[in-house]
Amino acid sequence: MNTGYLNTLPALANKYNVDLQEGEKVVFTAKLSTFGTEKDYRLGADDSKFTLTNRRIIADNGYGVWSVDILDDVVSCTKIKSMLIFTYFQVMLNKTVVFDDGSLSLTGFNFYFKKSDTAKFESIMNSL
């Protein structure tokens, strides 16, 4: 992935108050329709918040925060159109993440954006 592209994007307001690291900036934010694991085990609903920085993908479901490093953890991001009316982005990881006190795990996320944010996110991902 050409993560250097993210550094060229303008910094946006950190409207979801993500804890930023040194040199990190917010480049995209959105309220999600829902998000889940790569197998669609639901992790969050319409009150979930999504932040893309120049280094990380961060999803907040109101109970916990999921954060993955784009360069070190993400192996792919694919736009998927299901047979129904849904379009989502599947972000696959290079490792298994264990959660819920070790009872569940995931190797990727499915992010369902609201229609107005889908094109914006897709444009950024196509440039990586």
Give the pLDDT score at 102: 83
Classify domain 4-126 by CATH architecture.
Roll (2.30)
Q: Where are the domains of the chain?
A: 4-126
Please give the structure tokens belonging to residue 115. 């229609």
Measured between alpha carbons, how far is 44 from 70 in angstroms, rounded to an integer?
A: 21
| pLDDT above 90 coverage of the chain, percent | 77
Confidence of residue 82 (pLDDT cuts 50, 70, 90): confident
Question: Which pTM does this prediction carry?
Answer: 0.93
Query: Residues 101-111: what's their mean pLDDT?
Result: 92
Confidence of residue 57 (pLDDT cuts 50, 70, 90): very high
Question: Is a pLDDT exceeding 80 seen at residue 98?
Answer: yes
DSSP secondary structure letters along 60-117: E-SS-EEEEEHHHHEEEEEEEE-SSS-EEEEEEEEEEEEETTTTEEEEEEEEEE-HHH
